[in-house]
């Protein structure tokens, strides 16, 4: 069974506890790395300037403390993974969330900007 590495655990620990639980459940079924939890202003500016985010500081759910979002990549292919590998990973993340009763949005479902690595807590209405 796969386990979260030290960087992935740090990212998990920066997130809302419910998101950490999703990561802990999903890793039991599929190997991945968590690459972002909380983002500082510098991190968010870099993500925005690099085209990896469509929002500036402090408007990302990554900018909250604790973070209301995380980014993950399939292991071992990481950023070189195919879209299909990200879809498989998303299936495991979303299944873990469903099992735990955590309502998530996946960036792969967005219409104008596909962010296959991104998951965030849904806003409560």
Tens digit of pLDDT for each residue in 22-49? 999 999 999 999 999 999 999 999 999 9
Residue 125 has pLDDT above 70, yes or no: no
Alpha helices in 4-115 (DSSP H): 6-13, 17-26, 41-49, 83-100
6 band by pLDDT with thresholds 50, 70 and 90: very high
Q: Give, rounded to a whole angstrom, the gap between the first and last alpha carbons of the chain.
A: 37
- Within 10 angstroms of residue 8's Cβ, the number of other Cβ atoms is 20
Cα–Cα dist 26/6, whole Å: 16
Q: What is the pLDDT of residues 70-110, one digit of tens each?
A: 999 999 999 899 999 999 999 999 999 999 999 999 999 99
Bond preceding residue 25 cis, omega within 30 of 0 = no
């Amino acid at each position: 069974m796969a386990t979260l590495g030290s960087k992935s655990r740090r990212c998990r620990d920066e997130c809302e506890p419910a998101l950490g639980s999703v990561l802990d459940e999903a890793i039991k079924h599929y190997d991945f790395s968590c690459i972002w939890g909380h983002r500082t202003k510098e991190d968010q500016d870099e993500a925005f300037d690099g085209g990896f985010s469509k929002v500036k500081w402090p408007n990302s759910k990554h900018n909250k403390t604790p973070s209301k979002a995380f980014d993950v990549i399939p292991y071992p292919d990481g950023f070189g993974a195919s879209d299909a590998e990200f879809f498989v990973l998303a299936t495991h993340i979303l299944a873990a969330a469903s099992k735990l009763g955590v309502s998530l949005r996946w960036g792969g479902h967005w219409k104008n900007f596909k962010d296959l690595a991104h998951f965030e807590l849904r806003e409560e209405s």
